[in-house]
Amino acid sequence: MLYNQLRAKQLLCAGTNNPDAKFRDGQEEAITHIIEGKGRLLLVQKTGWGKSSVYFIATKLLREAGSGPALLISPLISLMRNQLFQAERMGVHALTIHSDNKEEWADIEEAITRNQVDILLISPERLANEHFRTEVLAKISAKIALLIIDEAHCVSDWGHDFRPHYRLIERILRNLPANMRLLATSATANNRVMADLEKVLGPNLVVSRGDLNRPSLRLKTIKLQDQSERLAWLAGVLPKIEGSGIIYTLTVHDAERVAGWLKSRGINVEAYTGETGEQRESLENALLQNQIKALVATPALGMGFDKPDLSFVIHYQTPGSVIAYYQQVGRAGRAIDSAYGVLLSGQEDMDITNYFIENAFPTREEVKLVLEALHGAPHGLSVPELLTKINVSMGRIEKALSMLFLESPAPVIKQGSKWQLTTSNLSGEFWERAERLTVLRHEEQQQMQEYVKLKDGHMEFLIRALDGDASNISQNKIPALSAEVDPKLVNEAAAFLRRTNIPIEPRLRWPSGGLPHMDVSGVIKPEYQAQEGKVLCIWGDAGWGKLVRTGKYVDSHYSDALVSACTELYRKWKPDPAPTWVTCIPSRRHPELVPDFAQRLAKSLGIPFLIALEKTDDRPQQKTMANSAQQARNVDGSLAVKLDSLPNGPVLLVDDMVDSRWTFDIAVYLLRTHGSNVVFPLALAYTGHGE
């Protein structure tokens, strides 16, 4: 098939909504390569270059010549809305099958059967779905004219954003014609990743690699250890920057906290995280339309979001790798002459990225426990059933099962809701890969710490890390942003950090299998449920969290400042009906710590304190229990009411730490069954050990 240059130019103009649009260097050559069937192509170009234009134009030209549909595999289905608008302007009929549009699957499958779909977009996880493979993919595989693998670095173990389900692509390729057109795209493939992709996507993979320099960006690094300083810097600088942008954080909690602080300063921002849910599209549109100053986002707003005129990308914390940072900061300044890329960094960064690295793969012990449990259950076990049998968290069990299932051959298989063993053993290559990549991630983390220390040469550093050409790079001439912080704003930010509190939601059901000592199961009756409670802070966090940690492990005494903070929290909370007495959760390890604090809090509130509960035997610490069922059983039978009669009024139940919530819920059940009125839990810190 021959390339139609005139028609391709018409499609470019239509897709970009620009009658004078011109192809960027390499775009037309890539389209020609695909159309004329010159072999499999890996296209490595920086974000904003126009990789989606290449595959949409190629798809339309192939369809107009009578070829079958294209299949696009991408981790970004929910973030490709603006690209799909571009496809629609070209007349490309694109549909998606994903977990959020199940009600449309039947109609989409029918449209595919009738050859009414030009390009089908799926996530890599869809390749693991038996129905999709047998009812959709099998029927069209012989007709597919072009397979597109977007964000192809996710295929590679070496890629910074490795997605385990991308491993299925290699198996799919084995069943597709060797001469089928294939386009893989990425903005962040270094030499090691490209070598890996050549092995997976071959044979005879042609690599087209562009310039990685981003001349519009003015890059800067600023080290501010305390979060209060970084919050103050943001509040002082953002109003001075024209245009809109993105502020990246490493965690959901930090995204919500930074957004809350900036809103309190009158700056129009919104938080955008993996928990944003249905609001994602409206928030993306708000930023696209410059209706807000910034989205404060986790990496959930990452690959695929395209706003060409973003004037700044600021990182509140240091990402785990140079490659991830390059991709995120590269969202700014795509279609404008000048934009800021600022990396703030603080003392918590390494702890957070270490956590992500160490939890990227299941441990040998976790896998051993899962496989042993399944070995003892020939008919299989569901995840909830596994939770009752092994002391591993739900997230870790699901991660282990998912990764084991994606091995070839796989040692586990899923039948309905049950997981079962297969006849295959887990290959030693699984652990070699996990160990090799863990070492690599730590190396990338250290490389990012080198970037943090730079005074200049930031873009050169990034490009060299990506194995690109770092010669002839000049610093953008827009004025540098000041690193100075207003002391008054720092004090106000510190006060803001101490105002935060977290709700304690009461549990509504006992764990799967019930609690044998208490002889309870199923639904927790409303009259035995806790009222919604409050937690002062996150354990060890900025604000009160550090003071709680010091009180427990250094001073063995919680300070009067924490008593005052909880008193203020209580008065703002105003639990209704108001508690008339205070009690606390007992402990044999620290018998005086919480009672002393609770007694001082009761005095501050002007209500009596009584020790109503006692610990009947020693149990492992709750933080050693990894899932809800294990946490509940660890408390079951270890608490008792020690008073013959309880006061009639509502009670404030105090503890220092809350993780699983089961200690509170079981204590509340005991108090209520012994005649107590409603119970309001209050804790100093949420540890995050519970699910």
Rg (CA), the chain: 28
At 550 the pLDDT is: 94
The secondary structure of residue 114, as a DSSP letter, is: T
Q: N- to C-terminal Cα distance for the chain?
A: 56
At 128 the pLDDT is: 83
642 confidence band (pLDDT: 50, 70, 90): very high
Tokens of 445: 């983390």
In CATH terms, 500-686 corresponds, of 2.70.98.60, 3.40.50.2020, 3.40.1190.20, 3.40.640.10, to: 3.40.50.2020
CA 227 and chain centroid, separation? 21
Rounded (to 5) percent helix, strand, coil in the chain: 45, 15, 40
Whether the pLDDT of residue 160 is over 70: the answer is no
What does pLDDT average to over the chain?
A: 91
At 178 the pLDDT is: 73
pLDDT tens readout for residues 448-485? 999 999 999 999 999 999 998 888 887 788 998 999 99
Residue pair 124/172 in contact by the 8 Å Cβ criterion: no
Do 217-354+441-495 and 364-432 fold alike per CATH?
no
pLDDT tens readout for residues 11-45? 999 998 899 999 999 999 999 999 999 999 999 99
Residue pair 218/341 in contact by the 8 Å Cβ criterion: yes
At 336 the pLDDT is: 92
Counted residue by residue, the chain has a size of 691
Q: How far apart are CA 298 and CA 512, in angstroms?
A: 33
> Considering only CA atoms, which of 233, 249, 181, 163 is closest in space to residue 36?
181
CATH architecture of the domain formed by 217-354+441-495:
3-Layer(aba) Sandwich (3.40)
pLDDT tens readout for residues 364-399? 999 999 999 999 999 999 999 999 999 999 999 999
Cα-based torsion angle of the residue sequence 93, 99, 101, 107 in order, rounded to the nearest 10 degrees: 60
Q: How far apart are CA 635 and CA 585, in angstroms?
A: 12
Whether the pLDDT of residue 691 is over 80: the answer is no
At 522 the pLDDT is: 94
Residue pair 582/610 in contact by the 8 Å Cβ criterion: yes
Q: For 381-420, b where at least 16 C-beta lie within 10 A, e where not — what string?
A: beebbbbbbbbbbbebbebbbbbbbbbeeebbebeeeebe
**339-345 and 412-415 as β-strands: parallel, antiparallel, unpaired?**
unpaired
Find the angle CA(363)-CA(364)-CA(366) to the nearest 5 degrees. 65
Q: What is the 3-state secondary structure (H, E, C) of 328-381?
A: HHCCCCCCCCCEEEEEEECCCHHHHHHHHHHCCCCCHHHHHHHHHHHHCCCCCE
In CATH terms, 364-432 corresponds, of 1.10.10.10, 3.40.30.10, 3.40.50.170, 3.30.160.70, to: 1.10.10.10
301 confidence band (pLDDT: 50, 70, 90): confident
At 78 the pLDDT is: 60
In the chain, what are the domain boundaries?
5-209, 217-354+441-495, 364-432, 500-686
- What is the mean predicted confidence (pLDDT) over 210-227? 93
Residue 386's DSSP bridge partners are none
- What is the mean predicted confidence (pLDDT) over 656-676? 95
- State the burial class of residue 667 (Cβ atoms within 10 Å of its Cβ: 0-12, 13-18, 19+): buried
In CATH terms, 5-209 corresponds, of 2.120.10.30, 3.40.50.300, 3.20.20.120, 3.90.550.10, to: 3.40.50.300
The secondary structure of residue 423, as a DSSP letter, is: S
Q: How far apart are CA 297 and CA 255, in angstroms?
A: 6
